[in-house]
Chain A
């Protein structure tokens, strides 16, 4: 379940600078020209400049496909989860609701779900996806695991825990070496520490 050239997708959220080059380049990809499939999330701008790009994580056992009543979401032999098949998609949005990463989007104008397909037209012929080619910070990278291990301090993992459910993805995220699995818990308002990047606090000194 991988590309012949051994290339994989890696996300390092700590590198993201929020420039949206990925968003702008995504809509230049030939399979969905004019529509951007990547989301760039700005996380609490009042508190921080942290941003996070969200591509499809291409789950090993895609929840979007599991919940699709029309069997419209297919996975390629390389493990890429594609947009819904037009003749099958009934526009019910089950996938939109079920995806733990918030990736699929229902497009009313064509009554179909579309999502990131890892630029399958490019990756299936040995090229890199548009977003990971242009990303100026290296937050999005398409390369070999060997190259990542050689050039990055963090480790690349692809196992998530959502509540009680383990989700394995094709796309990797870079995390500190101590982390084995990303445990996603929902935080209640007020629980998040938001003063880390408050310049007024930094000016108080130690």
Chain B
């Protein structure tokens, strides 16, 4: 039974989201902190250094940490107010059991854990081991991500484990691996300051990676020319030297068109290409037809913009490429990334100061979370689960027979599809809220309702946890110690500030407790998260993401250590590919020819408008944490539909009107924000909200064939002016899915 035990408004009344508006000790400054903890923000991949003020085992405030080199005290509003998630009235403080018609009732850990273990065993005995699936998250520390991968393969013995980084970094990762052999930003952020040309493709840096804005502006002070590609004129586009309002899905037009012009004008580093790369001929052949005029039709922008972009990028002495979800969230996401990385390789500007590229990792541990083995195709150290040598090495670390390690399993969206089709019957989710974050929400809801058993480990009752049979009260980042790996590949140390409240437990202990009940206790006999890190180091040794030389002491002393770091004496590797040495066995970068193709769902007469989705600066991902912080909710309380005045006028829509945005799969009713800063053929709705306000009601369940990332950035919709909605969900508070 995986349906909410009582109505959604009843669950909201008991578990929120409600808003925390003041520190636990009030705004008075009478209470002094008894100590201050130097740690990191729990939210995005920037992982800014921050200090938490602690008084009697409670977080009561924050103080900037100006000595941490990456952000030097800088924070976005989420970082400033993150401490308001502590001591929150909605916080889960004990395990809960679903009780039909009554809600969720408090239970003991023994009862809850016994139930979880017995349901895993029952389902696996009835339907096979792979009928129970696990989903992890990229907000987990490296230690927890490692533990989830091992837990799946050694304790649950299922092939089907994946994680929500599947919705974030996989297109970038796959493209980087194909071309360079490593899935990591190639340069530290300090290199941005030395670049004379910067291309930001599909990244709303100001709202999704705010600290990076400082690096971009400082590079411009140093003389850099900035090119920004985005269907919306975002705050960084306002100051760009060239802003290209590309049609969503048309990016390859710009990239291949730029390369065409660069070849024509002789802005190609042929010496670098012959010495350090393979596959150039095929790329040169394919971009022949991408004249600026041809490319402009694909990109939906004037040909002159593509020429201008080539004129900035082509002859620059140094350059830096940054890309993010705008080009990655497509059914051709990997192709998009490869096409733009080709521009870097063709210029030969990589592997030295001021020259390189980075994917802007979105989630807190988006980088580390994808290296430790919680991906369906991966073992620790970013190893390949189908590679016999890799399997053998990890089997030796885990002390299990190699044959007992399952093969490659299903990725995140196919796991939900297998549930919908009745092939997977049980699910355990941690650090993930698919009811808000996966595309085509109605389908996801149907899938969850078909589960025979569903367990969620969470600190708040998320929209997804409402469907659980058992909810295990886990830990916030500041309630446990561990490491994450930031956007640059810098491994950093999260300190424990406080204990989990009441009967909540740290996540890794919960997972080990379940493993013990599944008979694998001897493999999960950790005394601390540091024990897990020590094993992770060993498991990553010799792998691509080699953490062997990193210790928690070194991280503290050196303010982070960049992987690969193969030995304790090794300084770490802030910049990859120095001297044109790439990570493929032949030492070369492998160009990938890319041809444009349409999106899974393009517009037509019935659904004539492009919908693109994204984020706002005051909310983080599915909002489980940030929709509970009053100051952040006030800043942008409900999703708005951004629409250009030309399109709005055609549809009879004025600023502030209620509109229904509707695709073939579902709709939202929200207020219109009529702005000139968006393409007239496109509307935008941010995705942080649930239920009738979920942008993912409309998005299409199409995935990239290589990376399996969903196509969040383009689907076809129609928009109509409507009366204010009056249903029960509409009357909820805005952070719960209501509308005003």
Q: Give me the interface of A with B, judged by CB distance under 8 Å.
A: 14-21, 23-25, 27-28, 30, 33-34, 45-51, 128, 130, 133-138, 151-153, 194-195, 197-200, 202-206
Report yes or no: B644 in contact with A20, Cβ–Cβ below 8 A: no
Report yes or no: A138 in contact with B676, Cβ–Cβ below 8 A: no
Report yes or no: B80 in contact with A28, Cβ–Cβ below 8 A: yes
Docked Cα-Cα span, A25 to B50, in Å, equals 13
Q: How far is the CB of B655 from chain A (nearest CB, A)?
A: 7
Report yes or no: B62 in contact with A28, Cβ–Cβ below 8 A: yes
Docked Cα-Cα span, A20 to B22, in Å, equals 18
Nearest first, the 6 A-B pairs at minimum CB distance are A205-B302, A34-B27, A17-B206, A17-B235, A136-B210, A198-B676
User: Interface code B232-263, partner A: CB below 8 Å = 1, 0 otherwise?
Assistant: 11111111000101000000000000000000
Docked Cα-Cα span, A163 to B302, in Å, equals 43
Q: How far is the CB of A157 from chain B (nearest CB, A)?
A: 17
Report yes or no: A200 in contact with B646, Cβ–Cβ below 8 A: yes
Q: Does B679 contact A (CB under 8 A)?
A: yes
Q: How far is the CB of A44 from chain B (nearest CB, A)?
A: 10
- Decide yes or no: A136 and B80 within 8 Å by CB, A34-B22, A47-B676 being known contacts: no
Docked Cα-Cα span, A33 to B53, in Å, equals 14
CB-CB under 8 A from B677, the residues of chain A are 47-49, 197, 199
A-B residue pairs in contact (CB < 8 Å), sample of 26: A17-B207, A17-B210, A19-B210, A20-B77, A20-B617, A21-B76, A24-B77, A24-B80, A25-B64, A45-B673, A46-B645, A46-B676, A47-B677, A49-B234, A133-B74, A136-B76, A137-B217, A195-B676, A197-B238, A198-B676, A199-B676, A199-B678, A199-B679, A200-B644, A200-B646, A204-B302
CB-CB under 8 A from A151, the residues of chain B are 218, 221
Report yes or no: B635 in contact with A20, Cβ–Cβ below 8 A: yes
CB-CB under 8 A from A46, the residues of chain B are 645, 655, 674-676
CB-CB under 8 A from A199, the residues of chain B are 232-233, 245, 644, 676-680
Docked Cα-Cα span, A77 to B221, in Å, equals 34
User: Interface code B196-231, partner A: CB below 8 Å = 1, 0 otherwise?
Assistant: 000000000011001101100110010000000000
- Decide yes or no: A19 and B77 within 8 Å by CB, A137-B210, A199-B678 being known contacts: yes
User: From B674, which residue of chain A is reached at the shortest CB distance?
Assistant: A46
Report yes or no: B676 in contact with A19, Cβ–Cβ below 8 A: no
Total number of residue pairs linking A and B with CB closer than 8 Å: 147
Q: Does B301 contact A (CB under 8 A)?
A: yes
Q: Does B277 contact A (CB under 8 A)?
A: no
Q: Does B275 contact A (CB under 8 A)?
A: no
Report yes or no: B304 in contact with A205, Cβ–Cβ below 8 A: yes
One of A23, A50, A152 near B238 (C-beta < 8 A):
A50
Q: How far is the CB of A109 from chain B (nearest CB, A)?
A: 13
Report yes or no: B238 in contact with A202, Cβ–Cβ below 8 A: no
Report yes or no: B77 in contact with A21, Cβ–Cβ below 8 A: yes
CB-CB under 8 A from B646, the residues of chain A are 200
Q: How far is the CB of B305 from chain A (nearest CB, A)?
A: 7
User: From A19, which residue of chain B is reached at the shortest CB distance?
Assistant: B617
User: Interface code B315-352, partner A: CB below 8 Å = 1, 0 otherwise?
Assistant: 00000000000000000000000000000000000000
Q: Does B125 contact A (CB under 8 A)?
A: no
User: From B204, which residue of chain A is reached at the shortest CB distance?
Assistant: A17
Report yes or no: A49 in contact with B80, Cβ–Cβ below 8 A: no
User: From B680, which residue of chain A is reached at the shortest CB distance?
Assistant: A200
Q: Does B690 contact A (CB under 8 A)?
A: no
Other A-B pairs, 8, CB within 8 Å; known A21-B75, A136-B211: A19-B210, A20-B635, A24-B635, A27-B631, A47-B675, A133-B73, A137-B210, A206-B304
Report yes or no: A202 in contact with B75, Cβ–Cβ below 8 A: no
Q: Which of B23-76 contact A (CB under 8 A)?
A: 27-29, 61-62, 64, 66, 71, 73-76
Docked Cα-Cα span, A93 to B656, in Å, equals 33
One of B64, B304, B631 near A133 (C-beta < 8 A):
B64
Docked Cα-Cα span, A157 to B155, in Å, equals 66
CB-CB under 8 A from B631, the residues of chain A are 24, 27
User: Interface code B67-103, partner A: CB below 8 Å = 1, 0 otherwise?
Assistant: 0000101111101110000000000000000000000
Docked Cα-Cα span, A129 to B695, in Å, equals 38
Report yes or no: A197 in contact with B676, Cβ–Cβ below 8 A: yes
Q: Does B158 contact A (CB under 8 A)?
A: no
Report yes or no: B28 in contact with A137, Cβ–Cβ below 8 A: no
Q: How far is the CB of B186 from chain A (nearest CB, A)?
A: 23
Report yes or no: B674 in contact with A24, Cβ–Cβ below 8 A: no
CB-CB under 8 A from B218, the residues of chain A are 138, 151
CB-CB under 8 A from B61, the residues of chain A are 28
Docked Cα-Cα span, A128 to B65, in Å, equals 12
- Decide yes or no: A137 and B304 within 8 Å by CB, A49-B234, A49-B238 being known contacts: no
User: From B647, which residue of chain A is reached at the shortest CB distance?
Assistant: A200
CB-CB under 8 A from B673, the residues of chain A are 45
Residue of B61, B239, B676 most packed against chain A (CB within 10 A): B676
Docked Cα-Cα span, A50 to B206, in Å, equals 12
User: From B632, which residue of chain A is reached at the shortest CB distance?
Assistant: A24
CB-CB under 8 A from A34, the residues of chain B are 22, 27
CB-CB under 8 A from B210, the residues of chain A are 17, 19, 21, 136-137
Q: Does B464 contact A (CB under 8 A)?
A: no
Docked Cα-Cα span, A152 to B645, in Å, equals 37
One of B76, B239, B645 near A19 (C-beta < 8 A):
B76
Report yes or no: B675 in contact with A20, Cβ–Cβ below 8 A: no
Q: Does B486 contact A (CB under 8 A)?
A: no
One of A15, A51, A136, A204 near B75 (C-beta < 8 A):
A136
Docked Cα-Cα span, A204 to B139, in Å, equals 43
Docked Cα-Cα span, A183 to B49, in Å, equals 40
One of A17, A21, A49, A203 near B79 (C-beta < 8 A):
A21
